[in-house]
């Protein structure tokens, strides 16, 4: 199972690497003349009164000869034009641009002002051949360009590479890394000693710790990427892809752990076996179910990369694959909640019920935080949604990790419950070791 997980994670991570593209706000490339419509050059969420678009081109003569220019549309206005029942011609659509900048100098600035609230703008490249349906001219010279999109910083100077939807994420990941560092200084040594001793909780604590390491690794890679991005608007694409890969490994490991635990309990209850303690990964049925669900989620993740390439670790959920992932997580949370409810309902021991209820809260929080926040995010403006989902999911999953660590490290709860009945709990050891305490 471990090897399969790594192959799936590498496949997903590889697709994110080559699909990631140039998402930075310092863009370099070539403008080519082509008929049939305007070419989308960039998309950016401006805010404030002194946002700036800077462009540098290599061949002014070619640009002037083509009558090259940039047209800027507010996203909502452009979408209205596209969905309008009126049959606007190509030229009529382009004439409705909110801002236009002719490309007749090597270096030019365009200031975007009077923005009441942050919103997305589209930047299109247009020349005299754009609206010619059957234009074919292979001899037309391309125009090399470098484009920088900037928002005003705290002092009002246009020096901030972050769009409105990304502002604040750099500081958030810094605080998150600081929190991980403080927690590691306090708890790492005692946790390491516990893992070295082994014991009933060894397997689950090892998997939880692996998940935590990948969570921290994803946060650190994101911080490095955003730190570089703040300086040049490009960032470190490798670190950004590494952060996404770490997050995928974390999600798959946690999914397999929670499913194996819950399915093991449910199957053990149905069989009512008293012959030996139930191990979380030793039941073929529970392992099979976990593998099927993990593979399904991995396939959906790979599919999602092909449908939605403009994202960070968490998606806007406009694609079919993203919707199916949301549905999968909701179904998992409902099925596990029903199964655990059946166990809790017939359980007579108050202590056991408390254990199962706490575990159920952790499971439901892990699976439902992403669908719940994606649903709530529609109440916010477009530039706030990515931050709401990203920050919210990370905080909720961190709380879930805290709940599970506290549950499985608790002397007063897990040890007493496991000593009452080893059959109904996972991660217990053979009967010859039942009397041993590892703390």
pLDDT tens string 353-387: 888 888 888 888 998 998 899 889 889 988 888 88
Q: Which long-range contacts (CB under 8 A, 24 or more apart) does 177-186 make?
A: 177/216, 177/219, 177/220, 177/223, 180/216, 180/219, 180/220
Predicted confidence at residue 106, as pLDDT, reads 93
Task: Say which residue the tokens 């000593």 belong to.
Answer: 419
Kindly report which listed range (97-106, 228-237, 281-290) carries the lowest average pLDDT score. 281-290
Q: What is the DSSP string of 14-76?
A: HHHHHH----SSEEEEEE---SSSPEEEEEEEE-SS-EEEEEEES-HHHHHHHT-EEEEEEHH
With a threshold of 0.85, does the pTM exceed it?
Answer: no
Predicted confidence at residue 49, as pLDDT, reads 82
How many other C-beta atoms lie within 10 A of the C-beta of residue 185?
Answer: 9
Q: Which of 70 and 310 is assigned the larger pLDDT?
A: 70
pLDDT exceeds cutoff 60 at 431: no
Confidence bin at 272 (pLDDT 50/70/90)? very low
Q: Which of 44 and 339 is assigned the larger pLDDT?
A: 44
Confidence bin at 52 (pLDDT 50/70/90)? very high
Q: What is the mean pLDDT of residues 299-317?
A: 61
Predicted confidence at residue 266, as pLDDT, reads 52
Q: What is the mean pLDDT of residues 11-40?
A: 63
Alpha-carbon distance of 107 to 146, in angstroms, equals: 9
pLDDT exceeds cutoff 50 at 177: yes
**DSSP secondary structure code for residue 432 in this structure:** G
Q: What is the mean pLDDT of residues 73-77?
A: 90
Q: What is the mean pLDDT of residues 66-85?
A: 88
Alpha-carbon distance of 74 to 51, in angstroms, equals: 14
Token couple for 386: 């990515």
Q: State the chain's mean pLDDT as an integer.
A: 77
Phi first, then psi, for residue 39 (nearest 5°) are: -100, 125
Task: Say which residue the tokens 């939880």 belong to.
Answer: 208
pLDDT exceeds cutoff 80 at 391: yes
Predicted confidence at residue 23, as pLDDT, reads 47
Phi first, then psi, for residue 431 (nearest 5°) are: -60, -30
Alpha-carbon distance of 254 to 30, in angstroms, equals: 44
pLDDT cut 90: percent of the chain above it? 23
> Residue 342: CB partners within 8 Å, gap ≥ 6?
266, 269
Burial class (CB in 10 A: 0-12, 13-18, 19+), 330: middle
Alpha-carbon distance of 279 to 365, in angstroms, equals: 24
pLDDT exceeds cutoff 60 at 12: no
> Residue 336: CB partners within 8 Å, gap ≥ 6?
258, 259, 262, 360, 363, 364, 367
Residue 103: helix, strand or coil by DSSP? coil
Predicted confidence at residue 146, as pLDDT, reads 93
Task: Say which residue the tokens 């030019």 belong to.
Answer: 108
Predicted confidence at residue 398, as pLDDT, reads 92
Q: What is the mean pLDDT of residues 60-71?
A: 91
Q: What is the mean pLDDT of residues 4-13?
A: 46
Confidence bin at 196 (pLDDT 50/70/90)? confident
Confidence bin at 220 (pLDDT 50/70/90)? very high
CB distance 226 to 173 below 8 Å? yes
pLDDT exceeds cutoff 50 at 430: no
């Amino acid at each position: 199972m471990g090897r399969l997980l790594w192959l799936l994670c590498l496949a997903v991570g590889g697709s994110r690497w080559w699909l990631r593209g140039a998402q930075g706000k310092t863009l370099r490339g070539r403008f080519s003349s082509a008929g049939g419509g305007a070419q989308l050059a960039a998309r950016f969420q401006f805010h404030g009164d002194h946002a700036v678009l800077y462009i540098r081109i290599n061949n002014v003569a070619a640009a002037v000869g083509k009558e090259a220019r940039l047209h800027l549309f507010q996203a909502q206005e452009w979408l209205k034009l596209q969905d309008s029942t009126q049959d606007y011609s190509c030229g009529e659509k382009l004439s409705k641009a909110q801002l236009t900048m002719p490309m007749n100098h090597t270096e030019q600035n365009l200031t975007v002002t009077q923005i009441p609230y942050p919103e997305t703008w589209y930047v299109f490249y247009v020349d005299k051949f754009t609206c010619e349906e059957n234009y074919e001219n292979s001899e037309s010279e391309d125009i090399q360009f470098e484009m920088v999109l900037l928002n005003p910083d705290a002092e009002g100077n246009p020096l901030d590479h972050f769009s409105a939807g990304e502002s604040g994420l750099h500081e958030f990941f810094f605080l998150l890394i600081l929190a991980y560092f403080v927690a590691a200084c306090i708890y790492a040594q005692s946790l390491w000693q516990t893992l070295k001793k082994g014991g009933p909780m060894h397997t689950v604590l090892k998997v939880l710790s692996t998940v935590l390491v990948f969570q921290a690794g994803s946060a650190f890679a994101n911080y490095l990427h955003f730190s570089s991005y703040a300086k040049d608007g490009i960032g470190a694409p490798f670190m950004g892809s590494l952060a996404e890969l770490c997050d995928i490994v974390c999600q798959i490991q946690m999914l397999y752990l929670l499913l194996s635990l819950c399915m093991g309990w449910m199957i053990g209850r149905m069989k009512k076996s008293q012959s030996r303690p139930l191990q979380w990964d030793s039941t073929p049925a529970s392992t099979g179910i976990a593998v099927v669900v993990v593979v399904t989620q991995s396939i959906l993740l790979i599919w999602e990369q092909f449908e939605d390439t403009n994202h960070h670790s968490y998606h806007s959920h406009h694609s079919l694959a993203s919707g199916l992932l949301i549905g999968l997580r909701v179904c998992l949370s409902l099925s596990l909640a029903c199964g655990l409810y059946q166990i809790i309902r017939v359980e007579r021991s108050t202590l056991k019920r408390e254990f199962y209820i706490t575990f159920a809260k952790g499971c439901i929080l892990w699976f439902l935080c992403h669908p719940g926040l994606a649903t709530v995010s529609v109440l916010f403006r477009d530039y706030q949604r990515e931050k709401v989902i990203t920050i919210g999911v990370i905080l909720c999953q961190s709380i879930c990790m805290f709940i599970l660590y506290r549950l499985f490290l608790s002397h007063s709860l897990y040890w007493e419950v496991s000593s009452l009945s080893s059959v109904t709990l996972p991660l217990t050891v053979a009967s010859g070791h039942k009397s041993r305490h590892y703390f």
